[in-house]
């Protein structure tokens, strides 16, 4: 069987380096390109012609890199935060025009997908909620893309246009954590997800890249790959 060829953009970062290693030891997957800061992304993609591009670079660059990938005939898998709903919609339309597909993933953790599913069920019965997200001090964006995605999903399920508050913490000693707190008269309910290493992303990284291989249009969320 021919291996699925992958480009990793941001290969020197913590998640990028882990993805390169994890894909390299997964049967049927092959990393054929590692793109670093300062490299010409378009030229590199055209030269190596990977099937899928994983982008795990700086917050705010995901939409631009996804567009470049699609223009090069490469399917984008965007793990970089900061892709707005409007940008995701534009990418979806363009990908369908090109008969391509991809995926935008705010968080590759299976545990986070399960937390969001549970929270979406709960918010329909306990509508008052807030989100606390905690990360290491080196994380630049706040709130995190995962917290923002959770807030959007909960607001949609709640059917309320008012934003769900997000509280961001950036301190040494943390890795990646998220809590959703629900309150009602006389009771509270708390969902919490804790990560201690990028190994939590392994199954999601594999499921997502394989989904992109046959996807039509650009969807948002790891749940589409599960």
What is residue 72's predicted lDDT score, i.e. its pLDDT? 97
Candidates 22, 65, 99, 135; catalytic one = 135
Among 105, 98, 68, smallest CA distance to 83 is for 105
Is residue 99 annotated as a catalytic residue, yes or no?
A: no
Residues 182-198 have pLDDT tens digits of 999 999 999 999 999 98
Strands (E) in the chain, as ranges, are 4-9, 29-35, 52-55, 75-78, 101-104, 128-135, 166-170, 176-184, 187-195, 217-220
**So what's the pLDDT on residue 82?**
85
Please state the domain extents for the chain: 4-107+200-225, 110-197
Catalytic option among 139, 157, 174, 224: 139
CATH: 1.20.1090.10, 3.30.200.20, 3.40.1440.10, 3.40.50.720. Which one for 4-107+200-225? 3.40.50.720
What residues pair up with 203 in beta bridges, in sequence order?
none
Is there a catalytic annotation at residue 193?
no
pLDDT band of 66, cuts 50, 70, 90: very high
pLDDT, mean over the chain: 95
Neighbours of 160 (CB within 10 A): 12
pLDDT at position 38: 87
| For residue 217, pLDDT beyond 90 | yes
User: Mean pLDDT across the stretch 28-51?
Assistant: 95
Confidence at residue 160, expressed as pLDDT on a 0 to 100 scale: 83
Output the pLDDT for position 99: 97
Distance of CA 169 to the CA centre of its chain: 20
Contacts of 25 (CB under 8 A, 6+ apart): none
Percent of the chain with pLDDT over 70: 100
Q: What is the pTM of this model?
A: 0.86
User: What is the CATH code for 110-197?
Assistant: 3.30.360.10
pLDDT of residue 81: 84
pLDDT in tens, 153-185: 999 999 887 899 999 999 999 999 999 999 999
């Amino acid at each position: 069987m021919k291996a699925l060829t992958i480009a990793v953009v941001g290969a020197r970062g913590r998640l990028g380096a882990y993805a390169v290693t994890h894909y390299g030891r997964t049967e049927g997957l092959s990393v054929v390109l590692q793109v670093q800061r300062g490299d010409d992304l378009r030229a590199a993609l055209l030269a190596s012609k990977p099937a899928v591009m994983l982008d795990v670079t700086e917050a705010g660059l995901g939409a631009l890199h996804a567009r470049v990938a699609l223009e090069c005939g490469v399917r984008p898998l965007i793990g970089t935060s900061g892709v707005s709903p409007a940008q995701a919609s534009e990418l979806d339309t363009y990908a369908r025009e090109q008969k391509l597909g991809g995926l935008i993933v705010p968080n590759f953790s299976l545990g986070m997908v399960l937390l969001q599913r549970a929270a979406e069920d709960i918010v329909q019965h306990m509508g008052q909620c807030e989100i606390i997200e905690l990360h290491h001090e080196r994380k630049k964006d706040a709130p995190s893309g995962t917290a923002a995605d959770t807030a959007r999903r909960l607001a949609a399920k709640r059917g309320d246009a008012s934003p769900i508050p997000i509280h961001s913490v950036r301190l040494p000693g943390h890795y990646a954590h998220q809590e959703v707190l629900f309150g009602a008269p006389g009771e509270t309910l708390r969902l919490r997800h804790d990560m201690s290493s990028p190994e939590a992303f392994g199954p999601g990284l594999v499921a997502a890249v394989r989904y992109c291989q046959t996807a039509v249009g650009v969807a948002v969320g790891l749940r589409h790959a599960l």
